[in-house]
């Protein structure tokens, strides 16, 4: 197969290739030229009499990187001792576990109501859809609570 066929048969690969080609454009040199009338022109190619601008990328890494262990908070910043923080974390874990148990019960109830709705042949589709959405809501809540619990130390 030719390169042409391969590229167009696999669009994701072509997309990646095009994105990689654009990376170089983001690092182009910029030139600033001011004419006799004071009009400013910016260009990515050199112009006679233009000044090359040295621009640093915005939002990138700062030129001086601080060590991770250095405390940069103000001296009057409130501090919490490790035992207090452990107690807070324990209380948070307990609250999340209680919420997870409660959501589990609500999910089981919502699933039972949905099952009953399917069995009731007179139930309108809007009611069935409402029950399905309630089941999905409780499933999402359980997923979020499990995620929060997994993030605790």
CB 28 within 8 A of CB 13: no
Write down the residue that tokens 């004071």 correspond to: 38
Task: Tell whether pTM > 0.85.
Answer: no
Residue-wise pLDDT tens digits, 86-132: 898 899 999 999 999 999 999 999 999 999 988 888 888 899 999 99
| pLDDT for res 1 | 46
State what percent of residues in the chain have pLDDT above 90: 30
């Amino acid at each position: 197969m030719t390169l042409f066929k391969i590229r167009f048969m696999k669009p994701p690969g072509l997309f990646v290739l095009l994105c990689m080609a654009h990376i170089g454009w983001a690092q182009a040199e910029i030139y600033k030229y001011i004419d006799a009338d004071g009009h400013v022109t910016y260009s990515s190619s050199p112009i006679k009499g233009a000044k090359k601008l040295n621009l640093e990328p915005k939002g990138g890494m700062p030129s001086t990187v601080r060590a991770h262990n250095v405390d940069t908070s103000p001296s009057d910043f409130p501090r919490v001792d490790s035992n207090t923080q452990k107690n807070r974390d324990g209380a948070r874990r307990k609250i999340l576990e209680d919420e997870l148990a409660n959501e589990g019960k609500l999910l089981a109830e919502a699933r039972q109501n949905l099952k009953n709705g399917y069995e009731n042949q007179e139930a309108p589709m809007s009611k069935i859809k409402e029950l399905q959405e309630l089941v999905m809501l409780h499933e999402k809540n359980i997923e979020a609570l499990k995620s929060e619990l997994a993030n605790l130390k």
